[in-house]
Structure 1
Amino acid sequence: MLQETRLPRNKQEGLLFLLIVSLISVNTIAPTIVGLERGFSKEVYLDTLQILPVMWIIVVLLVKFVAGPIVGRLLPKFVGQTDGFNARVLFNIVLNVLVLSLILSIIGTWVGTKQISLEPFRSFLHIWPRNFGVAFWIEMIIAQPIARFAMKLLHAKQAKRAGSIN
């Protein structure tokens, strides 16, 4: 049986996949959302860079301990045994972005403004759809494809190494 080369096969590869996706996502999604909110300028971008390390830690923790378990339970309800790789990836991305964007639309505002307030709840219906859209398309066309390509390269290298050993 052929193994999928575009996805992680063990915990170390899973961590590498998570690091690639999260670093790309945090470095593209946060500046885009902040730029849409405050305008695109060098000053706004430099301000955003200051919060990225904190946001990256928050994102990784949310993926591992909140979104991952929720999506793990929901995904089988949406994809069947006969569904292909692309359908599974699409539903995985949609569900992960849904969960993370719901939470990060609130937490991200708090981190960005450096204060906990009710503002993200008041403006939630305005900011969440935009945040979901930005995150979804960045995940779909940039972060996830790059991480899957990295896995494919890693697995090709492992297969080549295994072939030269035998």
Structure 2
Amino acid sequence: MLYGLIICTITVIIMSTVNIGLEFGKLDTEVFLIILKSFPIILIIAMLLEVLVIGRIAEKLVHTFSDNTDGFNAKILFTIFFTVIGMSLIMTVIGGMLGKGISPDSFGSLSHWPRNFSIALFCELLIAQPPARFVMKKLHLRQEDKLDYDFD
């Protein structure tokens, strides 16, 4: 849960800033307040979607497109790729609905999906994953040290 929260938080901050900033054509105090106000809603939506829908679909796709002999890194890359495809597609539509209301116009935001996918994939691979992995590695090391200490 912590791992997903870190990744979602970083990705939501970046994607919200990019999309809302591009919608307004600037990044000023007013736009940052809109981003700040929308952040908790978007984060909750993204977390629920990833855990309940997209993550499960991504796992099935990884199982379908990978083999038991594939390494951990290959499976992680597949998982990231499939998750980013699904999340960027759905969040592009949801973002349009949050910004413009639920109407046929909100599906017009799908034209932004290729940009959102590219930014989200870059963000996921190079910005969000490294700190999340670092935190999890430190957490696991601390748990191992505590376990080793308990046995001594």
Q: Shared fold (TM-score greater than 0.5)?
A: yes
Inter-partner Cα distance in structure 2 for 1:37 and 1:129: 16
**Higher RCO (CA < 8 A, seq sep 6+):** 1
Q: Which residue of 2 aligns with 1:84?
A: 71
List gaps (5 residues or longer) in structure 2: none
List gaps (5 residues or longer) in structure 1: 1-14
Q: 1:158 aligns with which of 132, 140, 143?
A: 143
Could you report, residue by residue, the CA deviation over 1:36-94 in whole angstroms, capped at 9, with x for unpaired residues?
Answer: 33324123222222111111111011011110121121111122112122211111111
Inter-partner Cα distance in structure 1 for 2:49 and 2:65: 22
Q: 3-state DSSP class of the match of 1:82? A: coil
**TM-score calculated relative to the size of structure 2:** 0.91
- Please report how far the alpha carbon of residue 134 of structure 1 lies from its aligned counterpart in structure 2 after TM superposition: 1.1
- Please report how far the alpha carbon of residue 123 of structure 1 lies from its aligned counterpart in structure 2 after TM superposition: 4.0
Inter-partner Cα distance in structure 2 for 1:138 and 1:33: 14
Q: 3-state DSSP class of the match of 2:68? A: coil
Please tell me whether residue 147 in structure 1 is matched to residue 142 in structure 2.
no
**TM-score calculated relative to the size of structure 1:** 0.84
Could you report, residue by residue, the CA deviation over 1:2-29 in whole angstroms, capped at 9, with x for unpaired residues?
Answer: xxxxxxxxxxxxx111211111111122
Runs of 4+, deviation exceeding 6 Å: none
Aligned residues: 150
> What is the root-mean-square deviation of aligned Cα atoms in Å?
1.4
Inter-partner Cα distance in structure 1 for 2:17 and 2:112: 14
More helix by share: 2
